[in-house]
Amino acid sequence: MGMAACLAAALLISVLLYMFYDLLVRQKTEHLSCCHLSEVNPALYVEKSSSDVITTPLDRAHPDHAHPGHAHSDHAHPDHARTGHSHSSALDMADPSPDDAQFLFLDNTSTAQADWSGKKMEREGFEAASVTKETGDEVEVELSNGQKLEVNKEDLQKMNPPKFSKVEDMAALTFLNEASVLHNLKERYYSSLIYTYSGLFCVVVNPYKMLPIYSEKVVEMYKGKKRHEVPPHIYSITDNAYRNMMQDREDQSILCTGESGAGKTENTKKVIQYLAMVASSQKVKKDSSTGELEKQLLQANPILEAFGNAKTVKNDNSSRFGKFIKLNFDVTGYIVGANIDTYLLEKSRCIRQAAVERAFHIFYYMVAGAKDGLREELLLEDFSSYRFLMSGHVEIPGQEDDEMFEETLASMEIMGFNEEERTGMLKVVSTVLQLGNVKFEKERNSEQATMPDNTAAQKLCHLQGINVTDFTRAVLTPRIKVGREVVQKAQTKQQADFAIDALAKAMYERLFRWILARVNKTLDKSKRQASSFLGILDIAGFEIFEDNSFEQLCINYTNERLQQLFNHTMFIMEQEEYKREGIEWTFIDFGLDLQPCIELIERPNNPPGILALLDEECWFPKATDLSFVEKLLNTHSSHVKFSKPKQYKDKLMFTVLHYAGKVDYNADSWLTKNMDPLNDNVTSLLSNSSSPFIQDIWKECKTSLP
């Protein structure tokens, strides 16, 4: 297979992933029905313009349908592709169980169909057809149901011969176009095959159910095998990256990208699981410290998920932070340590969530699972008592929060967290909930805030080891420096509310950072020298919600930058490498430069981008979210990637055209979110807490009060 085909396949799939969401996933008035016709007449796909209702075999316990994501390993060059009829050698060399085999190997018999139950969906997409007559740019086509249509040639896409049905690598397709890629992914998915290669990519369509293809037997099947020797799998991508690291002595990275809910985090866990099993031997297993490290590596994730994941509209276990996991290997290929970097924790989620969403999992685990003495020590109440848990106890189907609490505590023990640390962590989580119950009122004859009931304040101060009188004074009348003098400044109700919200977010963020540092300390205590690393990037996927705020802009901007990096690496640097090596090659401009959108967001000046304008607006005392949006409209009204929403729901709305689609943003509270001002008086109190744990997470704020 030529490299041009691989590049083209990678390019097309990167463009199509989000189109696939629209055509196959979202329940709109759309229809995707791609069936092969006889080869007697020229076969093609015609874009269907009318709505239709079909029965589609999909089954999942989630409101959306199957989501595709994709994984890519740097330096994982593709071998030749296998079509759906070349599995005998793979079956000879491995002996998976029947349960494994049906989800790994293609079975072209008529009865081979995924065991998904039928579900009616309306779709509009591509329809199989054959050409009956051509007149200039107009073509008459006949659909599979006998209906004849006249369409423009530009609306037609060629169909591949039947021998390419359910092909494992779409770079092998004779005709590589939108319809053929979507059709191939759909056909493989309906045959229980969720992994498909597309040149340099491995595309994963999320089945939203556990499949028996991650057992130790399957791991052995992929160990040391070339890509063309085994069916598509995340294990194959991982093994290729591992072997390249060992052979070339070059660091490797696996990128898991896709929309929220595509399955990035689950596949990241499979990568780690595979490496933990492969990068060990009987000799190494005798070393108890190494075996313990591998166990701890697998147990770090449940802790980070408990404190960093949450239920969203699209995903019951959505990562609300990004992470880059570095697994360090010695010269013999054994894991000697690991390090995790995190990005973009959605700290606002601990104080505010959409109606059907949850705050971070740990809040629900703790309130549901803490019993007896621990419950009393944490001063816990019922779900309905907490203002920050806006929808009460939002449950996740098939998950028991009290059981998850026990599992989280067990993971902490394996990671070496002592009882004092575990209790300290949970006290911070409980404190965040109590902060939401602190209520202020406005004094009758002034704008000054008061706290008529300090019950919540007493509880949180007890949990944090600080004096309630000092805390109340620090919130209502903080001491500030004016010139050389120190004065007390009374706060308004709005200022006090903002201060409490900011404190809750900062407290949770600091706890999360402490947990991460503690996990890294446990994972990186081996004395053996690391030779190279294999990194796995798992960031929050691109998000288009009904209400998109500052957090979505940050997440989508990150995805925009990542996609730009990938495009540059795959389609620009690869071709420059051909030139350096003297390969005859005509440079192809794939038209994938995302810089206009990136500059709209990040440009510092001439003109300033969205983030720079937001920073600038935060300096003005009388600035508001509305004045910020007005400045945006005045500055970028003619920008190709910026616009006003067609239907104004709110004056605070503006639209950005990202590579994955248009997103309407609501700038409500953006100035506050960008500043997140912390009350120095309160942070100083916390840094001088009677609790060593609380002192530790606020240690850089340890100053004497004004």
Query: pLDDT digits over 612-670, tens only?
Result: 999 999 999 899 999 999 999 999 999 999 999 877 678 999 999 999 899 999 999 99
Catalytic residues, which ones? 260-261, 265, 315, 318-319, 541, 543
Q: Is 264 marked as binding a ligand?
A: yes
469 is in an annotated binding site: no
Residue 280 has what pLDDT? 73
Confidence bin at 1 (pLDDT 50/70/90):
low
The predicted structure's pLDDT at residue 144? 81
DSSP letters, 427-451, are HHHHHHHHHTT---EE-TTSSBEE-
Is the confidence at residue 438, as pLDDT, over 50?
Answer: yes
635 labelled binding-site residue: no
Q: How far is CA 693 from CA 282, 360, 423, 456, 514, in A?
A: 40, 21, 9, 21, 10
For the stretch 69-125, pLDDT in tens is: 656 554 434 333 344 433 433 333 345 565 666 677 766 554 444 443 333 334 556
Q: What are phi and psi of 536, to 5 degrees?
A: -125, 120
Comparing CA positions, the residue from 218, 239, 254 lying closest to residue 70 is: 254
Contact 52, 33 (CB under 8 A): yes
Element (H, E) at 475: helix 468-476
- Looking at per-residue confidence, does 94 or 57 come out higher? 94
Q: Is the pLDDT of residue 252 over 90?
A: yes
Mean pLDDT of the chain: 82
- Please give the sequence-ordered ranges of beta strands (E in DSSP) within 274-410, or none if there are none: 309-310, 318-319, 322-329, 335-343
Residue 373, annotated ligand binder?
Answer: no
Q: What is the DSSP letter of 614?
A: H
Per the annotation, does 416 bind a ligand? no
Q: How far apart are CA 540 and CA 111, in angstroms?
A: 38
Angle at alpha carbon of residue 96, lines to 90 and 99, rounded to 5°: 125
pLDDT exceeds 90 at position 6: no
Q: 18: closest CA among 207, 209, 262?
A: 262
Weakest-pLDDT range from 173-182, 547-556, 587-596 = 587-596
The CA distances from residue 319 to 172, 354, 559, in Å, are: 34, 16, 14
CA distance 69 to 178: 16
Tokens 């802009």 locate to: 553
- Render pLDDT for 525-574 as a digit per residue (tens, 0 to 9): 766 777 899 999 998 888 898 899 999 999 999 999 998 988 888 788 77
pTM for this model (two decimals): 0.82
Instruction: Give CA–CA dist 540/555, Å, rounded.
Output: 6
Q: How many Å apart are CA 239 and CA 224, to the nearest integer?
A: 7
pLDDT at 63: 35
* Beta strands, E only, 206-330: 252-258, 309-310, 318-319, 322-329
| Residue 521: partners with Cβ closer than 8 Å, 6 or more residues away | none
| Dihedral sign of CA atoms 387, 391, 393, 398 in order | negative
Q: How many helices (H) and strands (E) would you count in the chain?
A: 24, 23
Instruction: Report whether 395 belongs to an annotated binding site.
Output: no
Residue ranges with strand state E in 206-321: 252-258, 309-310, 318-319
Residue 586: name the closest of 573, 575, 602, 597 by CA: 575
The average pLDDT across 124-145 equals 84
